[in-house]
Amino acid sequence: MSQVLRFFIPVFLLWTNLAFAQDLTGVIKDKTGVPLVGSTIVIKGTNVYTIADIDGKFSIPARKDFPFTLRISSVGFNPKEVLISELPSTPLEVILVDDNQLSEVVISSRRREETAQDVPIPISIIGGKLVADAGAFNVNRLKELVPTVQLYSSNPRNTTLNIRGLGSTFGLTNDGIDPGVGFYVDGVYYARPAATTLDFIDIEQIEILRGPQGTLFGKNTTAGAFNISTRAPSFKPGAIFEVSYGNYGYIQAKTSITGPLGKKFAGRLSFSGTQRDGLLYNVRTQKNVNDLNNLGLRGQLQYTPTDKIRILLIGDVSSQKPDGYAQVIAGVAPTLRAPYRQFKQIIADLDYKVPYTSAFERIIDTDSPWRSGNELGGVSLNVDAKIGSGTLTSTTSLRYWNWDPLNDRDFTGLPVLSKSQATSRHTNWTQEIRYAGNFSSSLSGVIGVFGIGQNLVTDPVHIEESGAAQWRFFQSSTSALWKTPGLFDGFGIKTTSTLKSFGGAVFGQLDWAITKKLHILPGIRYNYDEKDVDYTRVTYGGLQTTDPALLALKNGVYSNQAFKANVNEKNFSGQLTLAYKASKRFNAFATYSTSYKPVGVNLGGLPTASGRVLTELASIKPEYVTHYEIGVKTSPTENSTLNIVFHNTDIQDYQTQVQTAEVGVNRGYLANAEQVRVRGVELDGNVSFSKHFSIYGAVAYTDGKYISFKNAPVPLEETGGTSAFKDISGGDLPGISKWAGSLGAELTAGGKLLTQEGKFFLAVDGYYRSSFSSSPSPSKYLNIDGYTLLNGRIGFRATNGLSIFVWARNLFDVDYFEQLLPAAGNAGHYAGVLGDPRTYGVTLRYSF
């Protein structure tokens, strides 16, 4: 913290001593003289901006170093640039003309307002309108619009959010490592991957930055970042009411209300609720499972004591309480174990039959209930103070996560793993202070400090418990002792663990304009990370006996474990970007960067070898990332964009979650692969043929390989061989499709609905991905075939008033898997996370 103070005190003194510039005022109108409410006025090349009020009027701090350029934009109009050579004596009057060209997208990822085409970063932008109309109400649906994003979730805790196949471990989650993809909502870092499964609330825009971004964001991001902006409070009263109805009992309601609460206060209150019947049917309980039961509430209070200071207090709470996240047996792989240890022989001996022949019959018969109670929430305070030619920002947050699950990890109707219940409680605080702006006419940038403290505890314990049929699945000899009545019935483990961590960083990035066309952007970051883990696991239940032979059988399934670890790491990383903007329509850039993911600790139990607990795996090495990319952003015409980027990422000591046949660590454990590499090419673009027809799309080729992983666990089908480990160097990384792409189009026509002006529209979105591995160690069986999805909507849209449209997702009712998972113990069967079948419905929206 002393390093934080040493940085912050000089910045604070600078803040208190700098004189504020005078304000520049004006009004924005169209050619008929109508005020253009909500127009954006930006001092070009800075993060200083303002929004025109209900009368089209604006006030913005003027720079002291004349001349400078104002950039004014409004949806549906051509943007305009105005050169300011001196402070005018009367308010400016700016007239915008109708826009028949492609609208420019303004982003804030570099802590200033810029157009996406001007930023030398590969970035995808999804507007709030498309998020709402396309039904992309969470990240899992959003990924169908952005092919470089991957999300895998067997439940909210076990969620992986990746960009270009990198970021988090594939499959089951280990809480002892940090995500490599930053997830920010209104500037606040969300530490838990479970946040990505929640419904979006009142989205304004989503910016997805690809590649390391540690010199721009507080929390280090080795693979990229989601920068999500919600609709801010407004001094102009307004509201949006929306309700959707669909098949499978789908109901979703959304509300957002905003307006003034005084001369200097404004507020916004937003709500979202989603319900849907389950998509699987449990023939044992005769009820549907895998339903949706989501609620979210977000409140914002904005205080603007002056034109130069904005204070925003935000509170949010979201809850998911589905009867679900059940998985279906998708197949059986023959292992190298003896014939009596193969899955089909095991269930035959137990007189059991899987009640379906295809996972896409969407039925199950699991005997343990499925529960996934997921609650997240928090409060944040953001202060923006305009100082000189920049903004000093302080963002403070407190957040929590409560996780209350219950799973059937054997995926059958047999009492094998009767309980798998890892209840957890997580709290964290974050503090970020940064200054972003112009330091001179040719030098701009951002500099900041960041701190995060986290506390994760079991609540009160994690439970894994065997049922009466457990003995047969883990029978490793023909000894009659395995059949001892009650030996494993109720036998399990209770785990108590705590993880306390602290991370601190100083970061910054400059933009040096050597000429108007040539820019150099150096960046640097210093990290300090510390983690303290205390892990204790004790056995309980089963047959109480002192017989050494019976105890040995029990210990072969579950055993006591205890370890403590305290690790810390320091690291410098950085980047260098060269950007050349040859013209308004051509922007090329090349970036070299290094990045770092902190040291990890194992919180899911440790594997054993010859009866010895491998305590050396209690902690794993940090990742070291070397990344470069070369890209070109172009605007071939006034109404089109076309961008291409080549990227290459090499990671030393790649942190991966691997599976083992030991049921005591059925959620896997962390390990380091010596080296992996991901490289690829990405192409995206859009074109507006007229005001009424536009097309947008993206395609990505991504190749991810283990360059060296010489001691990886064997895949499912090689369980029972002469070795539990193998060299998988040269194998494919899991979760990466070589090819992925999206393509969308919208056709509109002006018209009236019930005397109301608006637009009739027809829109379609397609998404394709090729086959990919669903196993950390490449397997012949755990591979998912490629698939194509088509979504569409048709209706009437009004800026204010009534909008109505019908929609359908997965129009061709394609059967596809999102993930494949081996069952605990590696008996040979594996389960699948099923993609949704065809869904359809109608949405009504009213706004003013």
pLDDT over 50 at 21, yes or no: no
Would you state the pLDDT for residue 734?
95
pLDDT over 50 at 19, yes or no: no
C-alpha span between 733 and 404 (Å, rounded)? 31
pLDDT over 70 at 1, yes or no: no
- pLDDT tens-digit map of 193-226: 888 888 888 988 899 999 999 898 889 889 999 9
- pLDDT tens-digit map of 136-152: 788 888 888 999 999 99
Residue 359 CB-density burial (10 A; 0-12 exposed, 13-18 middle, 19+ buried): buried
Of these ranges, 216-220, 370-374, 673-677, the one predicted with the greatest mean pLDDT is: 673-677
* pLDDT confidence band for 101 (50 / 70 / 90): low
Share the mean pLDDT of the chain.
89
DSSP assignments along 581-642, one per residue: EEETTEEEEEEEEEEEE--EE--S---EETTEE-GGGSEEPPEEEEEEEEEEEE-SSTTEEE
pLDDT over 90 at 491, yes or no: yes
Would you state the pLDDT for residue 663?
62
Would you state the pLDDT for residue 795?
95
C-alpha span between 471 and 164 (Å, rounded)? 42
* pLDDT confidence band for 667 (50 / 70 / 90): low
- Check: pTM over 0.85? Answer yes or no: yes
Would you state the pLDDT for residue 5?
44
Would you state the pLDDT for residue 383?
96
Section 483-500 average pLDDT: 94
- pLDDT tens-digit map of 730-743: 999 999 999 999 99
Q: What is the DSSP letter of 45?
A: T
Section 776-792 average pLDDT: 96
Would you state the pLDDT for residue 617?
80
pLDDT over 60 at 7, yes or no: no
* pLDDT confidence band for 17 (50 / 70 / 90): very low
pLDDT over 80 at 548, yes or no: yes
Query: What does DSSP say about strands 363-364 and 280-282: parallel, antiparallel, or unpaired?
Result: parallel
pLDDT over 60 at 12, yes or no: no
Two tokens, residue 680: 């690829």
Name residue, tokens 């970051």. Answer: 525
Residue 397 CB-density burial (10 A; 0-12 exposed, 13-18 middle, 19+ buried): buried
C-alpha span between 684 and 695 (Å, rounded)? 11
pLDDT over 60 at 79, yes or no: yes
- pLDDT tens-digit map of 635-665: 998 889 999 999 999 999 999 987 666 665 6
pLDDT over 60 at 553, yes or no: yes
Section 179-187 average pLDDT: 93
Would you state the pLDDT for residue 13?
40
- pLDDT tens-digit map of 737-770: 999 999 999 999 988 888 888 899 999 999 999 9
* pLDDT confidence band for 362 (50 / 70 / 90): very high
Residues 6 or more apart whose Cβ sits within 8 Å of residue 591: 120, 211, 575, 576, 577, 578, 627, 628, 629, 630
User: Is it true that the peptide bond before 485 is cis, omega within 30 degrees of 0?
Assistant: no
Section 497-518 average pLDDT: 95
